Amino acid sequence: MKKVLIPTKLDAVARNMLMDHGGYDVHQLPGVDLLELANDHADTYAMIVRSEKITEAVIDAFPQLKVIIRAGAGYNTIDIQSARKRGIDVMNTPGANSNGVAEEVVALMLADARHIIPADASCREGLWEKSKFMGREITGKTIGVVGLGHIGRLAVRRLSGFDMRVVGFDPMISSDRADELGVELLSLEDLFEVSDYVTLHIPENNATRGIVNRDLLSRMKNGATVINCARAGVLNEDDFRALKTEKNLRLLNDVYPKDEAGAKPIADIADIMLPHLGASTKEANENAARMAARILAEFDEKGITSYIVNRDIPEGLDEAYGDLAHTLTAFARSLAGPDRRIKLLETSVYGNLSRFSEWLVVPMVTALNPDFDRSLDHHAAISVLADNGIDYANRDVDNRKGYGDSITVDLTVEAGKDQMQTVSVRGTVAEGQIMISRINDFEKLYFDPAGHSLVFSYQDRPGVLGIIAAAVAEAGINIDDVRNPHDSKGKNSIAVLKVSQPVSRDIVDQIARKVEAHIAASIRIS
């Protein structure tokens, strides 16, 4: 019998399922200090937790611990590095709480539109202020959903009964999948311009932090509403504060930098504030508990590892090749156009890397979808692609071509009505440095993609490189390196410039017009 410790007020369904399974001895002891529990339960095999802090000291106190499951999506309270050093797999239950968050969006919209909170207080005081609390209907309005992952899609489904126009932004999802959901895909700028409501369902990371800023907010209709049940950092609070009165914007908020008591900096601009209640439903608690029990049993019985969030790099693989896979995909995505819908991801993995091809698709997916955790496995990565309507193929390779340990990433994107475009990038690692060796038909580039790059392809003719260099210099930007080969037929050329700082979209477009570029991109690889 494997001992399972549940030191939290998790729904009893997890305990019951594991006890009924027959292979587990389950002890649910909420409210007891974990280090104290270790005195009597040092032989614990698995632990299911919610928000308890699993520190290195706690991990060391359970010498036989092999599995930690967070009944919920976030696992920032668990020291996953210390767990990995001890050979402990940490898992989570993504999606178990999603419906609660999606329904909260609807609840916030209705509560605000019909003044439910102040009207209740007024009525309890004995007042009868019907005219003061004249509301508005959400039926027929336009809602913009930023992020069409699991929660965003559930929100779309929940709102469909209100006959709203639903527009969405998510660079990952294909047009076909969006059509299935009944979502009209728009650019982020257009979404903010047309929406009466904007609901945010994106992660907070370097790419999304502060993404809802003055530019987007200034595009909103007068009286429009932002709903943030995602992460506090995706909204630039100062920019919202500056525009709230001018544009009569409303903010319905459930997320904060820290989940704790005390004054909240957003209090002066939020029209409704909740204490991070999105996932706080009995059903979500039960779903997370049921899922935690199921994935533990499947892990033990079937070896299913899809929910592990602290996986090691496979033995025998240099970590640099994971970074290579991520970089090639990010570079290809930028070349193809970051707002174009992806239809197909194809890979070719050469040399000794071929045996790691399944693992390498994971960092590729993280480059396409920042919400995907790089510590998850191949099956989870393929599932994310399929959920977004993106096909995936790993091609058989001919190692006699002499490409060594290298990777080719091909991205096919929608380039217009019934038109597709494919961008192909190959690279390798040389002396520990990531190198891109080919872009489309342009071979032997061998440049380091880290930092800021400009890429232009054009019909070969004299003087084009000079035009590009002059425009960059006029903008006050230094050129650190240049690659300028022809394609195999000698008809087209590519200019790849390593530059000292970002180049604005306006400058890129100006250069593209001057040289009649087929591809024009400013790319940053961190």
Q: What DSSP letter does each residue of 476-487 carry, written as one string? A: T--EEEEE--B-
In what order do the strands lie in the sheet containing 225-228? 184-185, 165-169, 142-146, 197-200, 225-228, 250-253, 272-273
Sorting pLDDT into bands at 50, 70 and 90, what band is 307? confident
pLDDT tens digits, residue range 486-519?
Answer: 887 889 999 999 999 999 989 999 999 999 999 9
pLDDT tens digits, residue range 128-168?
Answer: 999 999 999 999 999 999 999 889 999 999 998 999 999 99
Across the chain, what does the average pLDDT equal? 92
Sorting pLDDT into bands at 50, 70 and 90, what band is 371? confident
Contact residues for 36 (Cβ-Cβ < 8 A; gap 6+): none
Structure token digits, residue 269: 């601009």
SS3 of 316-354: the string is CCCHHHHHHHHHHHHHHHHHHCCCCCEEEEEEEECHHHH
What pLDDT score was predicted for residue 379? 82
Sorting pLDDT into bands at 50, 70 and 90, what band is 41? very high
- In 103-151 the beta strands, taken as DSSP E runs, fall at 142-146
Sorting pLDDT into bands at 50, 70 and 90, what band is 29? very high
Q: What average pLDDT does range 418-437 have in this prediction?
A: 91
Are the beta carbons of 72 and 101 closer than 8 angstroms? no
How far apart, in whole angstroms, are the C-alpha atoms of residue 275 and residue 363?
Answer: 34
How far apart, in whole angstroms, are the C-alpha atoms of residue 311 and residue 458?
Answer: 43
pLDDT over 90 for what percent of the chain?
76
pLDDT beyond 80 at 417:
no
- In the Cβ-directed half-sphere of 226, how many Cα atoms lie within 13 Å? 34
Residue type, 67: V
What pLDDT score was predicted for residue 451? 93
Its pTM stands at 0.81
Structural domains of the chain, with CATH: 2-95+283-302 (3.40.50.720), 98-273 (3.40.50.720), 319-525 (3.30.70.260)
Q: What average pLDDT does range 75-87 have in this prediction?
A: 89
What pLDDT score was predicted for residue 166? 97
What pLDDT score was predicted for residue 276? 92
Contact residues for 151 (Cβ-Cβ < 8 A; gap 6+): 98, 101, 102, 201, 229
Q: Which of 291-305, 364-378, 450-464 has the lowest mean pLDDT?
A: 364-378
Helices (H), 195-234: 214-218
What pLDDT score was predicted for residue 129? 95
Higher confidence at residue 203 or residue 327? 327
pLDDT tens digits, residue range 92-117?
Answer: 998 888 999 999 999 999 999 999 99
- In the Cβ-directed half-sphere of 433, how many Cα atoms lie within 13 Å? 10
Are the beta carbons of 181 and 154 closer than 8 angstroms? no
Structure token digits, residue 47: 């632990």
What pLDDT score was predicted for residue 495? 94
pLDDT beyond 90 at 439:
yes
CA distances from 509 to 219, 470, 513, 521 (A): 23, 15, 6, 9
What pLDDT score was predicted for residue 339? 83
Sorting pLDDT into bands at 50, 70 and 90, what band is 334? very high
CB atoms closer than 10 angstroms to residue 300: 17
What pLDDT score was predicted for residue 420? 87
Q: What average pLDDT does range 409-420 have in this prediction?
A: 86
> What's the chain's Rg over C-alpha atoms?
26
pLDDT tens digits, residue range 344-361?
Answer: 999 999 999 998 998 899
Sorting pLDDT into bands at 50, 70 and 90, what band is 373? confident
CB atoms closer than 10 angstroms to residue 435: 18
Q: What average pLDDT does range 411-435 have in this prediction?
A: 89
What pLDDT score was predicted for residue 304? 83
Residue type, 159: L
CB atoms closer than 10 angstroms to residue 46: 26
pLDDT beyond 80 at 416:
no
CB atoms closer than 10 angstroms to residue 211: 18
How far apart, in whole angstroms, are the C-alpha atoms of residue 20 and residue 36?
Answer: 27
pLDDT beyond 80 at 376:
no
Tally the residues of the chain. 526
